[in-house]
Structure 1
């Protein structure tokens, strides 16, 4: 076993390595296909917004003092003719271009139209938006790494974008090791139900990866090597494996990585539970995240390493944690960071450790908000503030 790396250092290392990979992979995508992806470059206004003076209300755009003779109409989507004479007006619709020479706008509800003449009392301030009210041409509106939402798409379209330079959702594969695992029925006779095959792909999808379930692999070195090669051939950028991260009689992940020429980004982490986790990089740039076989330990590895890894591959910011207040004591784990499953009490807003949190258990995880992060050598006591990594 290698010397465990500090938990925070491990997370930073995998994020930076993945982000370096993401920077080499960006693609122009039509706005219609960009929802859920990530901006690979800042969104910069290509024009002032609005690009021309724009009416904020329906009514009449007027010049000089009234009453005014209505000489024309301006609708949205048309270039407005100049308003050249005092005492004249044009009917105008919300969003229409305000003609040059206009003094102000008389609201529809404030005007009295009789024949071709309108009278009324306009507000003192012009009721239109000036060019650049929202932004100037060349202004950065959103930074690279921003998730692309419907609002971002609308903003990009309003600025004149037809496509966006994006980072895509990475393709991820889950490979489950363990001849003792069952896919259906009740456990017994030395065999247990597989809890990670159904849950890890769901976790990866919630973190923004594209995944199509999992595949079971026999406990042989040849099967391990073949499974990793097939995942690479299938276009996976991230391969999550379960089990085999130690050096037991059927732990073949390390030998398989060696045979494939992989290099370790992180190999064992000073965290409890789940310290024998790893991230390795294959020669083609694909990542292998080796998760421990015990279910809760695998989930610790997911939030510890896979969460920042996928954030990096997507070009997103480093995953943020939330500061919370502890409502009951959480024990220290010596020189290791302790990731303790906690639930948030809606009545007092505090977080409390849950029960059934053995490495092989998932009952506690199923009722938890996330993991409280307790630094090495410290316990957390009621009233202490700690970081919370929420489960996605």
Structure 2
């Protein structure tokens, strides 16, 4: 399957399976996704509000003070010309006020009357109701990622909680009798690098990791038991290795035993082509993502299929790939899409290919910000603008 088509199908599968909205307190909303539009519950500001410390006056001066209004109070109206009240920043402007005079632009005479001139600059000294938003106005659409600024807007509107999409749950299964879980590799066995790292990629794509299991024995029964246990607790089960049809590759027979339907079964992309995504029948949507055993290929499969799936499940849009300028040529891979590891410069606009990019290597990945995308049947020369598939590097971006 074409790589772009595979990404799109994975995303559409996630959108179709996204759970119902749930309401969470604002304190717990950071990092979630709005499931419904955020609308103003009242005009913003809800009342005329002073932007200065000074005097709210009525009519021409000088003015005789009649009291003080502080933030949080409701002042009586100014009922006659020549009257004023001392006013603080954030306080409600009393009804009947015709102007505000800044404290630094005013003087108080021996008779206690205030003199001064209101400023007539481009920025008014008070904010009018509805200046920022009117009641019922859509402030942010559904699908908006919630960050501290969004939480601030919701709080300003008067929300105590907001509707969000559920957080997808992901389980991780590591297949392979040849894998070591500690110590250096040797004697025909290699150290598992995917069990420690894939959960971090899943979390950076918005999933809660429920479990990491493995290495799972290379038997069909062991695969089935592990997959079933993962599906009991997670929406997405990610497996590593076994995506081909070798003598100890049991993932495809396990999917057949589970009655799973393939959404994607191998992708025309290098590295990483023996990847898959399947949907498991049942009362709730569940998915199995088969990542190749080679580490770089597994990460490519994860950001090619699992990341779009999780975006759909979270109610997020599938962001278009930005364009970057290549500092050096990148070869094509014939009829396949080539994802070439690259690092960005400080501007984020120029990409330089990195070394150590074999499918089984991770050194290049650790020095990259993502992948340059060279489309099928093409080559990319220095100076070309090409799509860039970023790695989800936060938190602690390098």
Check if 1:317 corresponds to 2:312: no
Check if 1:332 corresponds to 2:335: no
**What is the match of residue 187 of structure 1?**
185
Between the aligned partners of 1:249 and 1:333, the Cα distance in structure 2 is: 28
Between the aligned partners of 1:35 and 1:349, the Cα distance in structure 2 is: 29
Query: Does structure 2 conserve the Cα–Cα contact (< 8 Å) formed by 1:307 and 1:319?
Result: no
The Cα of 1:322 is off from its aligned counterpart by 1.4
Map of 1:22-41 to 2, 5 A cutoff?
Answer: 22=18, 24-41=19-36
Between the aligned partners of 1:70 and 1:384, the Cα distance in structure 2 is: 70
CA deviations on 1:166-223 (whole Å, 9 max, x unpaired) are 0132111111000100011111111000011111011111112111552101111111
SS, match of residue 39 in structure 1: coil
CA deviations on 1:35-93 (whole Å, 9 max, x unpaired) are 11100011111211101111111111000111111112111112221111100001111
Which of 6, 12, 19 matches 2:8?
12
The Cα of 1:383 is off from its aligned counterpart by 1.4
**What is the match of residue 134 of structure 1?**
132
Instruction: Compute the TM-score of the two structures, normalised by the length of structure 2.
Output: 0.94
The Cα of 1:346 is off from its aligned counterpart by 4.5
The Cα of 1:268 is off from its aligned counterpart by 0.9
Between the aligned partners of 1:139 and 1:271, the Cα distance in structure 2 is: 45
Unaligned residue ranges in structure 2 (runs of 5+):
393-398
Query: Does structure 2 conserve the Cα–Cα contact (< 8 Å) formed by 1:201 and 1:212?
Result: no
SS, match of residue 70 in structure 1: strand
Query: Does structure 2 conserve the Cα–Cα contact (< 8 Å) formed by 1:197 and 1:213?
Result: no
CA deviations on 1:117-150 (whole Å, 9 max, x unpaired) are 2222222365210011111112111111111111
Check if 1:49 corresponds to 2:44: yes
Between the aligned partners of 1:40 and 1:262, the Cα distance in structure 2 is: 29
CA deviations on 1:300-353 (whole Å, 9 max, x unpaired) are 101211111111111111033210111222111111111111123459953222
Between the aligned partners of 1:210 and 1:375, the Cα distance in structure 2 is: 33
The Cα of 1:387 is off from its aligned counterpart by 0.4
Query: Does structure 2 conserve the Cα–Cα contact (< 8 Å) formed by 1:82 and 1:99?
Result: yes
Between the aligned partners of 1:347 and 1:44, the Cα distance in structure 2 is: 36
Distance 1:132 1:382, change over 3 A: same
SS, match of residue 241 in structure 1: strand
Which of 50, 55, 63 matches 1:60?
55
Between the aligned partners of 1:124 and 1:344, the Cα distance in structure 2 is: 48
Instruction: Compute the TM-score of the two structures, normalised by the length of structure 1.
Output: 0.95
Unaligned residue ranges in structure 1 (runs of 5+):
none
Moved over 4 A (4+): 345-349
Between the aligned partners of 1:337 and 1:347, the Cα distance in structure 2 is: 26
Check if 1:107 corresponds to 2:102: yes
